[in-house]
Amino acid sequence: MPGVEFYAAPTSLEEAVQRLAEGNGSLYAGGTDLLPQIRSGAKVFERLLLNIRRVPELTGVLRTNGTIRIGALSTVTDILKDSLLQESATILPEVADCFACGQVRNSATIGGNICNASPAGDMIIPLLLLDAEVELASWTDGALTKRCMPLSDFFVGPGKTRILPTEILTAVKFAAPAAGFVAGFRKFGARPAMDISVVSVGVSATLAENTLRNTRVAFGAVAPVPLRGRETEAALEGKSLQKTVVTEATHTAREEVSPISDVRASAWYRKELVGVLTERLLTHVNQSAD
């Protein structure tokens, strides 16, 4: 491990944040982003390598009253198989089922997907639809301290978030979806599996008498950060999904995003994909209402 002088594998959150508070620490969860980035030279290890995989407070999916809490160390496989999520927030296992392959899913954690802050991070899209917030822990003034922040405020740019170097993302939390909640996710990659999203789109709403309420739209890989599609949401809110509404919302979605051209797709192609995927999702949501 080049650059690593100390290695620690704490067995409690308190111990983990205390070690991190010493400064110059790299956190290691599943390693599926970190190790390729180290090997390619995109990142370097800090002096202390902190393996957080043995911290029990970072594991598990729990429902307390109306709130669902997913521990940061939950892997994509855990999310795919979790019975509480399959019942109450199906969109998360659905997205997990579009993620990489079994081998990567077994290591990749939800906390790592969020903290890696890729504009194409797949698990972030359903969490934006669910209005999730992140829970961050640190050792401050001699005590274990926690703060929460809306996920939509967490991202600053590609690979950059508002987490402090002394903080660990402990969990992601959201209110359990209400009755009538429908949601869908589509991603497009050059291959059907094992591909990073060229574009991803998520749509959710609560359907009452065929009308969309609390509409949420989220886009991946079309901006420096994964983001909510506020204009598309406004074009859908309070409407029923007649053809004219779908056409207008699809047009709004295409116009709302400003992607870049890169090796994987041109900006024009990404905009077209946003339109196509949004239209397919709205058709899916409409069928869920029948």
Q: Which residues bind ligand FAD (CB under 6 A)?
A: 26-34, 36, 52, 72, 99-100, 104, 107-109, 111-113, 115-116, 121-122, 163, 168-169, 194, 196
Neighbours of 130 (CB within 10 A): 25
Q: Smaller CB distance to ligand FAD: residue 148 or 178?
A: 148
Distances (CA, A) of 70 to 59, 170, 272, 284: 7, 9, 34, 27
CB-based contact 222:257 (threshold 8 Å): yes
In the complex, least distance from residue 187 CB atom to ligand FAD, rounded to whole angstroms? 8
Q: Smaller CB distance to ligand FAD: residue 197 or 286?
A: 197
Number of H helices, E strands in the chain: 12, 14
In the complex, least distance from residue 183 CB atom to ligand FAD, rounded to whole angstroms? 17
Q: Which two tokens mark 288?
A: 């869920």
- From CA 64, how far away is CA 62, in angstroms rounded? 6
Q: Smaller CB distance to ligand FAD: residue 20 or 212?
A: 20
Q: Smaller CB distance to ligand FAD: residue 142 or 192?
A: 192
- From CA 95, how far away is CA 86, in angstroms rounded? 11
Element (H, E) at 171: strand 168-175
Q: Smaller CB distance to ligand FAD: residue 198 or 257?
A: 198
Q: Smaller CB distance to ligand FAD: residue 92 or 168?
A: 168
Q: Smaller CB distance to ligand FAD: residue 100 or 218?
A: 100
- From CA 214, how far away is CA 253, in angstroms rounded? 17
In the complex, least distance from residue 32 CB atom to ligand FAD, rounded to whole angstroms? 3
In the complex, least distance from residue 57 CB atom to ligand FAD, rounded to whole angstroms? 11
In the complex, least distance from residue 104 CB atom to ligand FAD, rounded to whole angstroms? 5
In the complex, least distance from residue 55 CB atom to ligand FAD, rounded to whole angstroms? 9
Q: What SS3 state is found at 170? A: strand
- From CA 224, how far away is CA 119, in angstroms rounded? 6
Residue type, 37: Q
- From CA 90, how far away is CA 269, in angstroms rounded? 30
Closest residue to ligand FAD in the complex (CB):
112
In the complex, least distance from residue 137 CB atom to ligand FAD, rounded to whole angstroms? 9
